[in-house]
Structure 1
Amino acid sequence: MTSDGPGRVDEATPAGSGKGLRISLGVIAGLLLGFFCYLPAVILWQHYWGVPQPRVYPHGSFTSFGSDPPPASYWVSWAGPAVVVVCGLVSVPWRPARQVALPLVCAFVPMAAMVAWFMIGMELFFTPD
């Protein structure tokens, strides 16, 4: 904000433009999509493209998969839905929609990464003792 004299203030964004609301909605939608929709999308991807489920690796093998690593299609099935969402939303040309899409992507990516980290850990390394 700049002031040109007493009582006069110029603002970069006019009041009531809705920019803050669109940004907030984008963040909330990104968090919800990442938490509730990412895992079902991955499960559907794995089901319909016939991705083989990897075996469970022994306790303590978090850094090495040995001679039998999970297939590449398994890793692609986790990255694919996230790439589709990010590329689809980043390519939105309309400026007000970008004010929703960019915060949505910035909230979706870390939430989806946390879901993927947890679920991959459960699939590959969890064995009931």
Structure 2
Amino acid sequence: MPRPSDINANGHIFGGWVLSQMDIAGGIVAARRAAGQVATVAIDAMEFIEPILLHDLISVYANIEKIGTSSMKIRIEVIATRDGGKTHKKVTGAIFTFVAIDEHGRPRAVDAAYNTSRNV
């Protein structure tokens, strides 16, 4: 849930705050799939559909769309719940690209032995 310090001059939540929440959620999904550390390398098609308001409760959903040799594309959507849970609005979405990295911060192969039937 955003806090009063996350509000911009228009009374809406800063886009950067939302972006950081999306990056955290996507990073969790990507790190689980890669069985190790990942780094965000790109954000594609970011669209702010509606503003997030101060008292909104947001939910961030992240799903793997594509897996390459060392990278993963994760679709991330943010839903705002308003009016005491009566209203649900998609407020933003994007595709984030994460790269699996080794202990030296260099790209490595995504763990091919990962059980893809596991729910991440």
TM-score, normalization by structure 1: 0.29
What is the TM-score of this pair, normalised by structure 2?
0.31
Higher strand share: 2
The structure with higher relative contact order (CA 8 Å, sep 6+) is 1
From the CA coordinates, give the structure whose radius of gyration is larger: 1
Structure with the higher helix share, 1 or 2: 1
